[in-house]
Amino acid sequence: MGQLDRAELSAQGTRRARELREDGVELVAMTFVDNSGILRTKAVPVGKLASAAAWGVGASNSFDFFLCNDVLTTGAYSHGPVGDLRLHPDLSETTVLAAQPGWAWAPANRYDTEGVPHPQDSRALAAKAVELLAERGYRAGMSFEIEWVVTAESAPEDPRSATAAPAYGYARLSQHAGYLRTLMSTLDAQTIEVVQIHPEYASGQFELSMEVDNPVGAADMAVLAKETIREVSRQHGLRASFTPKFVPGGVGNGGHVHLSLWQDETNLCAGGDRRYGLTPAAESFGAGIFSRLPALLAIGAPSVVSYLRLEPHHWAGVFTAWGLENREAPLRFVQGAAGERERTANFEVKCFDLTANPYLVVAALLFSGMAGIDADARLPEPLEVDPGSLTDDERAARGITRLPQNLAEAVAAFESDEILKKNFGAELATTLADVRRGEIAEFAGLSPEELCATMRWLH
């Protein structure tokens, strides 16, 4: 992503503003996800969209050091209140918001005042990873799963206040049929293609899966889907929580990621001569991710509350194992039904959650997969049982270990991974560790009950 062609951006912004006015849009919300996984925004009247596209909208670089509760931490690259960045909307992704009349949304990239990409811009980093994968002759398909708990606005701390119907039960779906119908029609109007939606295991929990997209587009859609769920829930007298752990002891909200490796129009996760039909390139891609799972948790499970969810026997994937359709493995291989595997076969990363910045998730997974391809890495033997059902000795014999059990352990693994640090760049990699340590210090000493209550509505 090079420097900006301001004249061309102004012209594009003028054309897009005209189209948005015809759709009744008066304001455009520009968003970016910070290093704590919080969606931050600035908005402009539609008549100022061309100016915003060409010259950006001011935003402090201190946003890089915001914790999820808006406390500013410090770090090696912090300038405190000094300095300015510019938010530039991606006009090609501008979307009219169906649930918020008069508004449109656009993901933004951050540049400095000279028009140079900000080294901590996560969306630009994800785009860079996509470009590097393309230089190797590959592309990735990716999609996110969104899980959330709804409560009644009148009883927001009770996960059974909106529905006490059974997990996966039709009664829960039927009770909220109008809400879910509105949600689906709203997402469809915003060109977010949902593959399926259903009641999930936890009290008051639902899940939706989105269609495969290019990686940056998949992250964009994850951002927009979350905010759409939040707003449609509010309009139906409900409150939506995406926290990894709503209450201690309960099953948490995950943010699973599906990804596949492609060469032209061929899915390399199918039709190969390796285990389960993997091609050599796809196995190496998966192996690069598998070998970095401890470090990847600092990106995909980046909050202290994330580790209340990462427990054995909760389908969260907490041991270093992988396998075919093994929902207790952090890396699950999904073949799909016979006859469609050339289209559907993919890897699923199950240990991530929705406190993560999805653009950082995209970048981290692609950089890890590319490292696996470059090293011709191989996956270990797959596991066909719940790794939590094995004894310690049985796991040791298979080389299976426990993933980090707290954020500090994940940060240490991230800082030990030279591939991720190099590709993220010194400034971003260092700041991520600083921000994670800031969150650890901020919430130190809280009991699980206090931590859940504090984090419940932040993401």
E strand map for 153-283: 194-199, 205-210, 238-241, 257-263, 266-267
pLDDT-above-70 percentage for the chain = 100
pLDDT, tens digit (0-9, with 9 covering 90-100), for 236-277: 999 999 999 999 988 899 999 999 999 999 999 999 999 999
- Say if residue 1's pLDDT is above 60: no
What's the whole-number mean pLDDT along residues 336-359? 96
Residue 372 — very low, low, confident or very high, per pLDDT cuts 50/70/90? very high
Predicted confidence at residue 251, as pLDDT, reads: 85
User: Residue 357, Cβ neighbours under 10 Å: how many?
Assistant: 27
Helix or strand (DSSP H, E) at 141: strand 139-152
Q: Report the C-alpha gap between 14 and 50 in whole angstroms.
A: 5
Q: Does the global pTM surpass 0.75?
A: yes
E strand map for 13-56: 27-33, 39-45
What's the whole-number mean pLDDT along residues 370-399? 97
Predicted confidence at residue 250, as pLDDT, reads: 85
pLDDT, tens digit (0-9, with 9 covering 90-100), for 45-66: 999 999 999 999 999 999 999 9
Q: Which of 291, 316, 280 is nearest to 301 (CA)?
A: 316
Predicted confidence at residue 100, as pLDDT, reads: 97
Domains in the chain with CATH codes: 6-118 (3.10.20.70), 129-455 (3.30.590.10)
pLDDT, tens digit (0-9, with 9 covering 90-100), for 150-190: 999 999 999 999 999 999 999 999 999 999 999 999 999 99
Q: Report the C-alpha gap between 241 and 158 in whole angstroms.
A: 11
Helix axes 426-442, 293-300, angle to 10 degrees: 70
What's the whole-number mean pLDDT along residues 88-97? 98
Residues in the chain, how many?
459
φ/ψ region of 430 (left if φ > 0, alpha if ψ in -120 to 50, else beta) reads: alpha
Answer whether 456's CB lies under 8 Å from 450's CB.
Answer: no
What's the whole-number mean pLDDT along residues 387-414? 97
pLDDT, tens digit (0-9, with 9 covering 90-100), for 183-242: 999 999 999 999 999 999 999 999 999 999 999 999 999 999 999 999 999 999 999 999
- Residue 23 DSSP SS3: coil
For the chain, give the mean pLDDT: 97
What's the whole-number mean pLDDT along residues 276-281? 98
pLDDT-above-90 percentage for the chain = 98
Residue 2 — very low, low, confident or very high, per pLDDT cuts 50/70/90? low
The tokens for 317 are 């994937």
Predicted confidence at residue 257, as pLDDT, reads: 98
